[in-house]
Amino acid sequence: MNNYSCVKCADNCLECGTNEGANCFKCERPYLLQDGECVKECSKPGFFANRAKTRCINKTEFPTLGPVCTLLAILLILMVIIVKKCLGKKETVITSSIIAFLGIVETLAVCFQIFITNEYK
């Protein structure tokens, strides 16, 4: 027979887990969730409240997204230009190829940003 019992959440915590340590999953407003505890404001360096004002997130977690996408776009543009010069085919239109590659890079960047935004709501 299992001995299950209800867990009393800490003050200002709406949902929690076990009786051990910081175990909160969701805080009452205006409190923010940080490392399993409900806090008035983010206390760790580099952390700030997410857009929904429900939890503290690390603002330095994905600082390279913009530069990485820019470098990828530059590499794709150079690749298209090199292929055009080496093959010398007149059917290859550099402008439309560059736009297509940039569209792919931007789509991936937007999808990644949507994933990150939803992750921290």
**CB-count burial class (<10 Å; 0-12, 13-18, 19+) for 20:** exposed
Give the span between the Cα atoms of 50 and 34, in whole angstroms.
11
> How many structural domains are present in the chain?
2
Q: ∠ CA(66), CA(68), CA(72), 5° rounding?
A: 120
Classify residue 73: in a domain, yes or no.
yes
Q: Are 85 and 79 in contact (CB under 8 A)?
A: no
Domain check: are 82 and 108 in the same one? yes
Classify residue 7: in a domain, yes or no.
no
Domain that holds residue 86: 65-119
> pTM of the predicted model, to two decimals?
0.49
Sign of the torsion angle spanned by Cα atoms 86, 92, 98, 100? negative
Q: What digits encode the pLDDT tens for the residues 31-86? A: 999 988 999 999 888 888 887 888 898 876 555 666 777 777 778 777 777 777 77
Q: What digits encode the pLDDT tens for the residues 89-115? A: 655 566 677 777 777 777 777 777 666
